[in-house]
Amino acid sequence: MSQAATEHDGSQGTVELTVPADPAFVSVIRTVTASLAARRDFTIEEIDDLRIAVDEASALLLPHAGEAGSLSASFGGADNTLSISVSVPLPKGQAVPEPDQTSFAWMVLAALADSVTGSASGDRLMLTLTKARGARST
C-alpha cells in the first residue's frame, strides 16, 4: 500500500519529481505531465485533462503539506497509460485526512482521469490518477 509496486511494465520507465510545496511549482509538474503524455501519443485534449487533473490534485494536497514541505510526483504506466501519483508529506502529529469523495474536486478528478485513488499511509498523503490513451474516443 505504501509503495507503488509494478510501475515499470512497458518501455516508458518511471519518472520522479519533487518540487517545493508551493503553488508556483505546480506548473513544473504540469509540464512534465504533458511531456510524458505526449510521448505516449495522448491527444491534446487528453493531455489537457491530465493537466487540469494534476492542478486539481495538487491543489487538494498542498494545504496538507507542512511548512517547508515538498510536493512529489511519480509518473509511471505502460505505453498507452499514464499514471501519476502526487503526494505530500504529512507534518508529524497531523491527523491523516480522508479524501472526501463527494467533494466537487473529487468529481472533477474522476471525470478527467480513468481512475482516481487516494491513500494516506505512513507519513504521506497521496492521490493517484490513471488515464489511458483513447479511452473515451467515440
Partner 1 sequence: MSERSRPDRERTQQLFGELATLTRGTARHSEVRAELVEIHMPLVRYLARRFTGRGEPADDLLQIGTIGLLQAIDRFDIGRGLEFSTFATPNIVGEIKRHFRDRGWMVRVPRRLQEMQGELATAINDLSQRLGRSPTIRELAEHMRLPEEQVIEATDSARAYSAVPLDVPNSTTGMTIADGLVEPDDALEHVELRHTLRPVLARLGERERRALVMRFVENKTQNEIAQALGVSQVHVSRLLAKTLAELRSKLPDVQVPG
Residues that bind partner 1 (CB under 8 A): 23, 27, 30-31, 34-35, 38, 41-48, 51-52, 55-56, 59-61, 63-64, 94-95, 97-100, 102-105, 107-108, 111, 118, 125, 136-137
To the nearest whole angstrom, how small is the minimum distance from the Cβ of residue 63 to partner 1? 6
To the nearest whole angstrom, how small is the minimum distance from the Cβ of residue 6 to partner 1? 26
Name 88's Cβ contacts closer than 8 Å, sequence gap at least 6: 21, 61, 62, 64, 65, 69, 70, 71, 72, 124, 125
- Nearer to partner 1 among residue 76 and residue 126 (C-beta): 126
Say what angle helices 44-61 and 104-112 make with each other, to 10 degrees: 150
The residue to which cell 494536497 is assigned? 61
To the nearest whole angstrom, how small is the minimum distance from the Cβ of residue 121 to partner 1? 15
- Nearer to partner 1 among residue 4 and residue 120 (C-beta): 120
Find the angle CA(47)-CA(113)-CA(37) to the nearest 5 degrees.
30
To the nearest whole angstrom, how small is the minimum distance from the Cβ of residue 22 to partner 1? 12
- Nearer to partner 1 among residue 5 and residue 95 (C-beta): 95
- Is residue 101 helix, strand or coil? coil
The residue to which cell 487528453 is assigned? 46
